[in-house]
Structure 1
Amino acid sequence: MPGEDPLKAGQAVTGGHQDSAIRGRLTAMIHRVSPRGHFARLLASTALLIPFHNATARAQEAAVKANSVPIGTIEVIQLAVTIGVLGAALISAIVLIRERQRTATENGELRGRLADANAALQRSEALLNLRDQRVVVWPADNRKPDIVGSLPIETGSPEERAAFLAFGRWLMPRSAAALENAVAALREKGTSFDLVAETQAGAPLEIQGRKSAAHSIVRFVSLSEAHRNLARLKLEHQQVAAEHDTMLGLFDALKMPFWLRSTDGRLKWVNRAYWTAVEAPSRDAAVRDGREFLGSQARDAIASQHDQRPVFEQTLSTVIGGDRHVFSVTDFAGAGGSAGLAYDVSAADTVREEYERTVRSHADTLDQLNTAVAIFDADEKLRFHNQAFQKLWGLDTAFLHSTPDNALLLDRLRSEGKIAEQPEWRRWKENLLSAYRSVEPVEHWWHLPDGKTIRVVGNPQPKGGVTWVFENLTEKIDLESRYQTAVRVQGETLDNLAEGVAVFGPDGRLRLSNPAFATMWDLPNDAVQPGIHVSLIRDLCAVRTTDGPWAGFVAAVTGFDDERRNGHGQVTLQDGSTLRYAVIHLPNGQVMITFVDVTDSVNVERALKEKNDALLKSDQLKNDFVQHVSYELRSPLTNIIGFTELLSLPATGPLTTRQQEYLDHIGSSSSVLLTIVNDILDLATVDAGIMQLDISEVRVESTVAAAAELVADRLDEHAIRLGVDIAAAPKNFHGDETRVRQILYNLLSNAANYAPENSTIALSCRETAEGVEFSVHDDGPGMPPDVLDSVFRRFEPRVNGGRRRGAGLGLSIVKSFVELHGGTVRIETGENRGTTVICTFPAAPAGIRAAAE
């Protein structure tokens, strides 16, 4: 009540310092109570609080007047806080409304921009999905590329993603290789490119490669007819340019000077032999300076000849290095200029002169012989005779130098009585002159009127003509003495032979023997004297062997069989030594018996047989062990692979990254081991001779594609390209398609193991006269000869520059399966020139073997 505390009531109404204190406390309270401090601070720091404070004071005053009830400080504070909160809420609502309006405006703008972007995207997709282009986009993070659009069916490009990215399957080899290199340069270095490629269907494509900040883009465009013609012209130009470069490279490698001239006769291009011959420092210098290989007269003769006909062929001379040489020059003039080639024939002239000197030397040599020699040409004219010929027949020099024919010479000798008169002279002469039509030497014996005996030999010459040799047999005595000397030499030789030799006459008596014969049979000296009968020697030798061959020797020496057959055999003596004998019937009716001590050889042979038997048993044990172990391993390996695949399924449960890696290693290792076990079983089946081939039509293209697909991951791992050339291959042939695919897979795997990174493995197939030939070539280090000898042996893994070491069964399986088809395998290799394995299959085998030998 106002009467109770008038002082306080007056203070509340009139205001003053107390009001200011109240306003300060009210502001502090608003700071503490307000949920948003910045709005409270805003209210406290602005003039908006003043009306609220005035309103609070007026409210308090009105309340006092109306109710005459005093209002406490707490009520005033509560009322002020309430009013402040309401004001802050009002301001917040205003700010939120404005923020919402701004957000709605931005959302509207974003929706419009999104609609424009969607429309642009639809237009882009519509343009990209045309049937005349296809775009491949590689992201920068090496993810799988995106492919948009498609190409016409007539281009031959596949629609499937993986097949399309395998450019070598549907592009020509040269175009595929160029595109692979261009794509690699685009993705690695950002190098743009524009190419014209040709598909295997013969359709040209324009390929463009561009690099953006985040993508690598390659666009394939199917060209219009005009563009196709232009592209074909470009391809033909590239081929012509390549052939032009090849021809220039060939001409530059020739050791013969070659030149090209323009229509005005100036040099346009020369090869190395040309500018070396004209002593120019380089090709450009020779062309620039116009250094001529031939003289001016020779060039004028060539130009004059070209006015009449385009080809000039003549032998000309020129000076090279200070020496004169003779060249056979061929020059051709065309519409765009001329080309010439010079072949040095100085060596041929030298050889011709050397031949003439040799002929003269031979003539001089023959002229010094005591044997008469006369040479007649193909026309039967006398071309050469030595002094011995003239001396033998006593003919005058003028007649001989007149080159008489052979028939006239015979008539001259007959008329002068220097050869004996024949009963039928014409027939005798024709028989003698038949030597000109013979291919083998002919021999005649002439008994001259002066008592001489002449041996006449006519030797036909390859180019026609006959060389007659007249040998005077008065030298027979000298020959007989030589014969006796030879007999004595033969006797000394027989006496020093390690072989025992005994010769018996038709009467059964010993003609000769050597000491080795008596030593081998332990015979006394008086028992091997000439004239001893073979029966006595038989009795002496029979005691040294239980079942000796001497009864057969006696029958061979003393028998009267119409057919005399040689024989041989082996006999073992009682002292353990072994003799090998041979019975030889000589032309003069005698019989020669030879003996060779082969005791050491027999012992070695016996030891080798025992060792061979042991090796055969060991090999059989090995095969049995391999077959047993292989079958025992296959079952647990199959279980391991099955459980590994089961663990990899999502239904089994999640795996950690490391567990997944371990599981992948287990699966891959098990698959490799299962492959080895299967290979061992295949080889064991082949060795057992029970493998049967499923002969059917083998489609070459699909079989090659399947084998290439099997090794694609391994090739990509080392950036190795596979070039396939089956243009000359037949569409199919008879064989086991599964085994042929296995053969190609092993060949490609072996090549991938040795091929360098970023290289190309060439797989080709062609039809030959023998059948179908597959060849796989790699640019690896090649095989040395010692490795090549054992390359088809089993369980002999070879590294030799390869990346991994296998079980050594790949090429063994290849050889076994190819031979099962009745084919052959050969290897062409060498250091630093790679390795080529060539397998030849018969196109239609008549009889396929059941197992490889």
Structure 2
Amino acid sequence: MDSSPALLAVVGLLLALWTAAAVWVMLRASGREQKTVASRKAALRMARMLEESPAIPVLVRTDGRIEAPDRFARWLGLAKVPEFLSELADLDGSGLSEQQVEELTRKVRRTQKTAKPFRMSITVPGSRRALSLNGTLADPAVSPSGAALVWVFDYSESQQELSQLREDAARAQDDFGALVGLIEAAPMPMWFRGADMKLRLVNRAYVEAVGAESADQVVADQVELVETVGGRSASQVAQQAADRRQPIERIVSATIDNARRTIRVTDLPLVGEGIAGYAVDIEEMEEQAREFRAFREAQRSMLDQLSIGVAQFDAQHRMNFANQPFHRVFSLPPGVVNDRTTFEQMLLIARENGRIPEVRDFPAWRNEVARWFLSDEPHEEAWPLSDSTHLRIISQPLPDGGLVMIAEDRTEQLALSAMRDTLLRTRTATFDSLFEALAVFAPDGHLELWNRGFPGAWGVDPEMLDGHPQAEDLLESIAANLADPKSVAIVGNTIRSATLDRKKREGRIEMADGRTLDFAGVPLPDGNGLLTVLDVTASRQAEEALRERNRALEEADAVMTRFLANMSYEFRTPLTSIGGFAELLSSGVAGELTPQALEYVQAITLSVGKLTEQVENVLDLSQSEAGLMPLRKQKIDLLPFVTDIVRAEEERIVEAGLTLDLKGDPGKIINADPQQLRRAITNLLDNAIKGTPKGGKLLVDIGRKRGDTRIVIADNGTGMSQHELARALEGIRMAPDGKGIERRQGLGIPLARQLVEAHGGTLEFQSRRNAGTTATITLP
């Protein structure tokens, strides 16, 4: 029992050791299990990585067996991975071709024997997949028996990109060669500068422009095409373009082929190092631009002289020109061109001024008008305005998208057109209303116009004229109605003379029905000829009657002349005898007369004197009206002549209680018949004395006006009304029945007027009731 604790201790120790060993074993087993799990996870991860990697490992053993993932079979288009390498070429056409398998087998065996790696590229038949095979001898840890490890890469996309790059490189090389050839053959100078701004490359046009022998010489000598302008050389301008990384374009003058030319030079920074440049000869363009500017200025100056409004708009609908008539037509304010007023704004201004048609929807109408800019054809419209103005609007689209707008005021033309229509209708109505027969013939001879009396005058059918016949056809119809058909040639010659010879010609022709026609051909301003026809049958008969009556009047005139000559003797002889006998009786030849008888004799003498004066007045007046008044003109000093006349009437003036004022400058000489002029002045002075009451005044004034001599006899007497003055001027005239003489008032005034007019002068009267009368004699 003493050994029991020791035994127990030993047993306990053994149990402890056993427990410790069991725990150690369990812990070790647990660690191994964890390592196994970790290894398994690592293997799975590695397998997954291999599965997702761009390369597939294929292990080829010495006996030809292969180990590869299923992805390798899919790349080759096989259902599964074959067991041997030789089975990569399937009998149904899948997989690799036999030649590819043989080449791959040969390279794999060489690697297995010599450990020399190999590279191989294949394309899977029937697909666009390209594979790259890199084979090496497998590590002994992988396969200790000398297997070959082949890494398979799918570089299909890389192969396509590489092919594309090769094509692009070949194309770029071809394009570069073509570009170099194009630059060399370009007609404009072109060059290239390096980073140091020195010339490195120039084309043939540059060499010819600077007059060098070759491009190498130009580059070696750095011959510049463009001279220094504004203190900056061509290389400095190129450096400035390089610094800005922006192209610089300028227009300068340069000497090209020994001639100064205007060129446009462009310095263009390239993506890499360097500056490219080219020069375009714009001398002809500048010349054309100058000519175009001159033409445009001349055109606009000419448009300003037109009476039609013209305006130009650019592609942005902005006004760049408008002449003065256009401003007036649309009442535009000054400065619309300088303000670049748009087409729509111009319409708005014109609408405010009432210079466009009245429309219900102005914005819609304006948009419709603005479509003129989009049209390919000219457009024309008529714009009636509210003030009765009529505008003719024409829009002409321009090739650059602009528009030319033409505005013509047709108000006057329309009024003239309406007036012309009215005149034509009036002319037609006038033609048809005339007694004359009218016809208008064209230069080619056909009938153009006629009135209703024309066919009736010639006796032709009116329906025949509706076809506007030729003159020859019309004359054939007229000839049948003439008394002498051959005389129709006279009518034809008259028509020909008016239309072709442009001369007026007249004629007369007899119709078969006894009528007589007068016709005349008159050339018209428009080149036509007018044929007028008038039936003068009645006038001819009247003419014959007038000739007969004229002969009778001439005979009567001769009788009257003889009568006046006889009356001059027959009247004066008895009156002279009566006066002589009265004087003998008063002288006592027949014995002493009683006082009463002597008074009778004196009365007879006074009556004979008055009757003699009246007879002479009647005879003189009758001779003057008959044109038989004899004048014996001589030079007369007018002032003494009139003074003698006034002195002769002095006694009567004093008896009537009147005063007379005689005025005039001496030295006025006229050529006249003193006896007849004395009678005229005496008659006028006698009428003035009779018409002036006691205390009145008379005026006799001798003067000159506009080279003519004037004798004025005025009074402030009772005067006459206009009716009384007219009756006094009539004096004696033929009775209404033409068989006797009708007396009007006295004979003094008519006789004075006849005597003055016989001297080539005039007698004028001015008289008013209770204001006196003024008689003015004007003698040349």
TM-score, with structure 2 as normaliser = 0.43
Could you say which structure has the larger radius of gyration? 2
TM-score, with structure 1 as normaliser = 0.39
